[in-house]
Structure 1
């Protein structure tokens, strides 16, 4: 089981990949992740093999997973949303090859402070 759960961290569409991304974002251990979800590490390994809830059936899929493993849905939903948001931002930043950073820096330079005199 442990080996399959480890492999799931590299498989797109599985909760294992979501958990690995979350651990990277939050700098947390497997034990901390299990505590956050309200389960033990063995249950976390089984969860890792589940498909990531997505699409219009998201709520129903979360409900089924949570009922199956005896979890409260809120921590799982919060984690999924955080990974979607932060993971998407990292992907966008990596794909943008620094152009966003350059635009942000230009925008920061163009902005005047309230205490600066007007020319």
Structure 2
């Protein structure tokens, strides 16, 4: 979407940072949460048509992530619109990294084959 480059890039960088923190500091429980779009006084009116989420969804996911039950999501990305029961059923897949970014190394020093 035009005009979203700064927002999108910062979200991507923030998520990658959470992955690094989770890897480097195993005792930390870090997550990237997509909070949905809630129609509030702070929301830009141009997003109102997409504002189908409720603030309670964001709170419920935050509460879930605060519990040890969500440890399998450490360093991962999650959204308020995802079914938690289905996510728990796919716990082993998630623990293997399907909700993490995959960087394709290019430089030989990073394990790549060069440009």
For the criterion TM > 0.5, the same-fold answer is: no
Alignment TM class, shorter chain as reference: under 0.3
Which structure has the highest strand share of the two?
A: 2
The higher-RCO structure (CA 8 Å, 6+ apart) is: 2
User: TM-score normalised to the size of structure 2?
Assistant: 0.28
Larger Rg: 1
Which structure has the highest helix share of the two?
A: 1
User: TM-score normalised to the size of structure 1?
Assistant: 0.27
